[in-house]
């Protein structure tokens, strides 16, 4: 799970840098965009966030099992997630809406003016809500899902056992793949479809997809039957994920060619995307269990670095891209500088915050470092000094 989370986040950085060069909406766009960039983005888009929610559910279940009680678990999670969220919204995130407003909305004030006069006004500023959590919406949703997990923990034991056994029976056999595909398909048929708005209250279709994925991770942490089902079916899932991706890519090709897709073809698209989403996750869990379930020299450090990297990476992408834009660099140079600059800046953010005790909680780390290496079987997240994926 640690290696899977590390790999997923590395792809997330590449994904966000790719958005800069795509024709898709993003807070910052390169001077030149390319339609073909959509195809590598489509390879990740359907499953990347759902995978991270599933891994976070797995980690949360592990932390809950080791906590001294439900109240202690909740306090720990509120601190571990809430402190970086507030710090991020107040300090890390503000350059993002300023770059967005400056580049796309014609905002003509300096960043310092924006910070002093506009950012903390709690209003809609030319279509951008300030203050904002921007990419930290994931942490907000994870906090909400943590409350759901706590509520489930407070249910009578017989009810919890029934829920666990029902979920396990449903997913430990041949229904693993069709049930998951069907659930994502139905969730994304809700108004809003595949476009999340990152509004905690008015994002029903996203919650319908991400909350069950989080709970699937919780179930997986406690279910050997589901793990074995994944081990048996991950190769089939991988093949189906590729087929789903090809279907979604065909739809994208028609869309870019300005061919009007008849309403009758919308459902095949949703099925293809749901198939890609669920089956890619099952395949990745199977691959990780089969090939990545081993120790590595950098596992603990990289797992610890994931949450700090997550907090800072999008701000770095937007700020670096904003500085590069007037220079009109070659696209390959621009891409390389964005990736390298984001990696170096994230490392500096992580190592700097890790070395100073009072700063550690602000970037999602425990106040004091662990003295011993975490065992290989430790689930991702807390014990490897990381926070949620």
Q: Is the dihedral of CA 275, 281, 282, 288 positive or negative?
A: positive
pLDDT for the residue numbered 261: 56
For the chain, helix, strand, coil in percent to 5 are 75, 0, 25
* 335 pLDDT more than 50: yes
> Each residue of 231-282: pLDDT tens digit?
999 999 999 999 999 999 988 887 664 455 566 678 888 999 999 999 999 9
Q: Measure the CA–CA gap between 33 and 13, rounded to whole angstroms.
A: 18
pLDDT for the residue numbered 105: 87
> What's the pTM value of the predicted model, to 2 decimals?
0.90
pLDDT for the residue numbered 367: 81
* 387 pLDDT more than 50: no
Closest by CA position to 317, among listed 21, 7, 51:
21
pLDDT for the residue numbered 3: 92
* 288 pLDDT more than 90: yes
Q: Model confidence at 382, in pLDDT bands (50, 70, 90)?
A: very low
Q: Model confidence at 381, in pLDDT bands (50, 70, 90)?
A: very low
* 193 pLDDT more than 70: yes
pLDDT for the residue numbered 375: 41
Looking at per-residue pLDDT, the higher value among 324 and 376 belongs to: 324
Calculate mean pLDDT across residues 140-151.
96
Q: What is the largest CA-CA distance in the chain?
A: 64
328 phi/psi in degrees, rounded to 5: 50, 55
Q: Model confidence at 369, in pLDDT bands (50, 70, 90)?
A: low
What token pair was written down for 336?
Answer: 């390389």
Give percent of the chain above pLDDT 70. Answer: 92
Closest by CA position to 101, among listed 133, 120, 122, 128:
128
> Each residue of 68-127: pLDDT tens digit?
999 999 999 999 999 999 999 999 999 999 999 998 888 999 999 999 999 999 999 988
> Each residue of 337-346: pLDDT tens digit?
999 999 999 9
pLDDT for the residue numbered 298: 86
Q: Model confidence at 286, in pLDDT bands (50, 70, 90)?
A: very high
Dihedral of CA atoms 245, 251, 256, 258 in degrees, nearest 10, equals 180
């Amino acid at each position: 799970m640690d290696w899977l989370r590390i790999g997923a986040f590395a792809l997330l950085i590449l994904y966000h840098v790719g958005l800069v060069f795509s024709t898709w909406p993003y807070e910052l766009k390169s001077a030149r965009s390319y339609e073909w960039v959509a195809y590598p983005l489509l390879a990740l888009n359907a499953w990347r966030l759902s995978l991270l929610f599933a891994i976070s559910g797995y980690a949360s279940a592990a932390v809950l099992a080791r906590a001294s009680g439900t109240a202690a678990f909740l306090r720990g999670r509120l601190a571990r997630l809430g402190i970086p969220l507030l710090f991020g919204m107040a300090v890390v995130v503000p350059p993002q809406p300023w770059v967005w407003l400056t580049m796309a909305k014609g905002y003509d004030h300096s960043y310092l003016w924006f910070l002093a006069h506009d950012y903390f006004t709690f209003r809609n500023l030319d279509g951008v809500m300030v203050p904002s959590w921007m990419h930290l919406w994931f942490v907000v949703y994870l906090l909400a899902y943590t409350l759901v997990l706590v509520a489930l923990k407070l249910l009578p034991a017989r009810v919890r056992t029934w829920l666990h056994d029902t979920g396990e029976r449903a997913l430990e056999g041949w229904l693993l793949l069709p049930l998951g595909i069907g659930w994502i398909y139905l969730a994304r048929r809700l108004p809003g479809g595949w476009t999340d708005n990152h509004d905690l209250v008015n994002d029903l279709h996203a919650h319908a997809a991400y909350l069950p994925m989080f709970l699937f991770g919780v179930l997986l942490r406690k279910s050997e039957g589901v793990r074995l089902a994944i081990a048996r079916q991950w190769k089939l899932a991988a093949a189906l994920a590729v087929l789903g991706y090809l279907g979604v890519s065909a739809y994208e090709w028609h869309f870019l060619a300005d061919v009007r897709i008849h309403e009758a073809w919308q459902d095949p698209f949703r099925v293809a995307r749901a198939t890609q989403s669920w089956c890619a996750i099952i395949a990745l869990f199977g691959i990780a269990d089969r090939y990545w379930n081993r120790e590595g020299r950098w596992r603990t450090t990289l797992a610890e670095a994931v949450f700090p990297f997550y907090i800072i990476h999008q701000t770095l992408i937007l700020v670096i891209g904003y500085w590069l834009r007037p220079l009109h660099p070659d696209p390959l140079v621009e891409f390389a500088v964005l990736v390298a600059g984001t990696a170096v800046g994230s490392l500096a953010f992580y190592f700097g915050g890790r070395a100073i005790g009072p700063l550690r909680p602000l970037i999602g780390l425990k106040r004091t470092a662990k003295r011993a290496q975490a065992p290989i079987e430790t689930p991702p997240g807390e014990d490897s000094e990381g926070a949620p994926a």
